[in-house]
Amino acid sequence: MKNNITILDEITINKIAAGEVVERPASIVKELIENSIDAGAMQIQIEIKDGGKEIIKISDDGYGISSDQIELAFTRHATSKIHKIEDVQTLNTNGFRGEALSSISSVSKIDIITNTSNDSFGVKAKIIDSRVSDISEIGVRKGTTISVTDLFYNTPARKKFLKSGSREAGVIIDIVNRLALVNSSIRFKLISDGKELLSTEGDGSLLNVTRTVYGKNVASNLIKIGFSNQYIKVKGYISNTSLYTSNRKKQNIFINKRYIKLNKLNYVIENAYKEIIPIGKYPVFILDIEILPEFIDPNIHPSKTEVKVDDSVLLDDLINNNVRDNIFKSSENLIPEYKPKDSEITILKENLENSSGFVYKQSDKIEEEFVVKQQSDVEDIEIPFSRILEKMSAKDTIKDEPETIQTEIIEGDVFNYNQFVPSGVVFETYIVATYKGDMYLIDQHAAHERIMYEKFINQYKLNKENDKARFESQELLIPIIKEFTMDEYHVILDNRHIFDFFGLKIDDFGFGNIALRSLPLIFNTEQTSDFFEELKDIIIREGKIDLNDKFRDKLATMACKKAIKANQKIELIEIDSLFQKLNTCENKYTCPHGRPIFVKFTKYEIEKMFKRKNA
């Protein structure tokens, strides 16, 4: 049967359009707050219940809406922000599409109370399905209060996808925080289920708002920045090297007072912190960027979190050239600082008072020993050990030590760990040793990580040269059964030879299941499972395994997990074994992630500290 083409009715059109604007309660909060900001509000109060699913109430002291404009305000594509398409090029407001109020009212029930400075009385009305009703006069101050209830009451398919109240509230809190950061002259108050979660001063200080939103510790570790060119002006704060997080939640980029998602720009800023904060950590920043309106296009998506910036603005270059310069402007920005809580100070003091310092000091306590599979391989030894060996004195006779320790690979055996004379371990992490009259602290984890990494790389290269060579593996008495999707299952079976190469012998166990019957000796069971998944993902993505940067990064991570950890006790015989293996490494100076393996203290510098030498 042939269907005739018809024009949808207005209610259906509004509900469909609302799907792009109103995704969840937080979408409503964002749109209504932005309307309040555009209305010149200096105070905005947000009240929510059950994460906005029960009620969202936004009150402001802005211009208000006159009684004769109420119905028009809730009409689709009705706006006071622009009058023609060219106005978008000179836009200085948050909203402009004329979709928010219409979209919200089409999927919820709204009560509005509003008044302007020109009207003697305010107006009160109800809006359901974008239709205004029950309009009446009311005595009320200038401003607008909008209450939204019964969200998605008429679109149950959308309503069932809402999360719990706490999760929806979390998204709202994040949005309000960002809007407060970029509008520091406005007083914000957020109340959730009767509890005040945010209250800003509205004094125009971005640092004060940051302190309120993120806390004192964040605010005290920020660097103020500011730079500009003929098209753009940037101001705000970036973190010093003492402040970093495990995610990007505290990264904020605002362009012309709108929160913007620009992944490329985030990468540029993060790249400025390369090698000065740990791998896998992220800097904190709040950047307030002003760009001439004619050089950006904000009309990309109804959420207005995406914009296009004209290439001539050179935004990436300006950020890249200035962020790192500001970090290196003062040494205080680069020196990590740890501020323990009072309780931590007490614990630290007790630990220091009870600490014996060096691990070779005789202990009266007998500790459990673990079984060692291969005593010649330091990577197979479990820590701690029960007995401590006394160190025999040795004379340092090396003659060809370089004057400065280099971090790159050095040709020839000019740096010999076999000549190191270990004296003990401090903090159960750093080996103390002497070498040609100087003292060294060697990070036992970084050293072992380098050994493990190069052992795997060298074995990989050796096996590649011999078609029949395989990684040494250990047969399992009971195979490990792993379940996969059918497409993964077939990819694994088709590439059985690759897994076999790495010492992972597998069998088809049927119906998407794979039986893992052997493990490579270099990894334990948990690490082997992770490695198996990594190999599978690489094969699916690239169709092969190459020793490229990505694969090397994975191997470095595996080596890190396998290596001796900080705070694990090792005895001097194991330190000697560690030095012997480290001495055979191609790179003896840094771990696979670029951290130094050792730090050198010259005898002269130490004697200066004790006033044995003149400064």
Q: How far is CA 111 from CA 30, 104, 190, 193, 529, in A?
A: 18, 12, 19, 19, 57
Does any domain span residue 361? no
Q: What is the mean pLDDT of residues 498-521?
A: 83
220 in the same domain as 192: no
Report whether 99 contacts 21 (CB < 8 A). yes
Does any domain span residue 339? no
Rounded CA-CA distance 535/520 in Å is: 13
State the chain's mean pLDDT as an integer: 76
Does any domain span residue 504? no
pLDDT for 83 equals: 45
Quote the number of domains for the chain: 3
Q: What is the mean pLDDT of residues 85-103?
A: 58
323 in the same domain as 229: yes
Torsion angle of C-alpha atoms 496, 502, 505, 508, degrees rounded to 10:
-30
Does any domain span residue 278? yes
153-205: pLDDT as tens digits: 888 877 888 889 999 999 999 999 999 999 999 999 999 999 999 999 999 99
Residue at a domain's end among 284, 308, 333: 333
Does any domain span residue 144? yes
Please confirm whether the linkage preceding 156 is cis (ω < 30° from 0): no
192 in the same domain as 226: no
225 in the same domain as 190: no
556 in the same domain as 429: yes
pLDDT for 89 equals: 52
Torsion angle of C-alpha atoms 221, 252, 180, 97, degrees rounded to 10:
170
Render 361-380 in DSSP notation, one character per residue: S--SSPPPP---S-TT-GGG
Look at the chain and count its residues: 615
19 in the same domain as 147: yes
pLDDT for 371 equals: 30
Confidence check: pLDDT of 251 > 80: yes
Find the domain containing 532 and state its range. Answer: 367-472+521-615
165 in the same domain as 16: yes
Does any domain span residue 578? yes
pLDDT for 399 equals: 33
168 in the same domain as 233: no
Does any domain span residue 349? no
More confident residue, 615 or 352: 615
pLDDT for 388 equals: 30
Does any domain span residue 601? yes
pLDDT for 424 equals: 86
Q: For position 318, which CATH number holds?
A: 3.30.230.10
446 in the same domain as 550: yes
**Tokens representing 54?**
């029960």
pLDDT for 80 equals: 54
pLDDT for 351 equals: 47
Residue at a domain's end among 199, 226, 252: 199
pLDDT for 276 equals: 66
Highest mean pLDDT among 124-133, 220-229, 375-384: 220-229
Q: For position 563, which CATH number holds?
A: 3.30.1540.20
Rounded CA-CA distance 79/85 in Å is: 12
pLDDT for 494 equals: 85
319-333: pLDDT as tens digits: 888 888 888 787 566
Long-range (24+ apart) CB contacts under 8 A made by 486-494 are 486/512, 488/512, 488/536, 488/540, 489/513, 489/514, 491/536, 491/539, 491/540, 492/536, 492/539
90 in the same domain as 173: yes
Residue at a domain's end among 175, 199, 223: 199
Q: What is the mean pLDDT of residues 330-343?
A: 48
61 in the same domain as 28: yes
Render 491-532 in DSSP notation, one character per residue: HHHHTHHHHHHTT--EEEEETTEEEEEEEETTS-HHHHHHHH
185 in the same domain as 80: yes
More confident residue, 347 or 572: 572
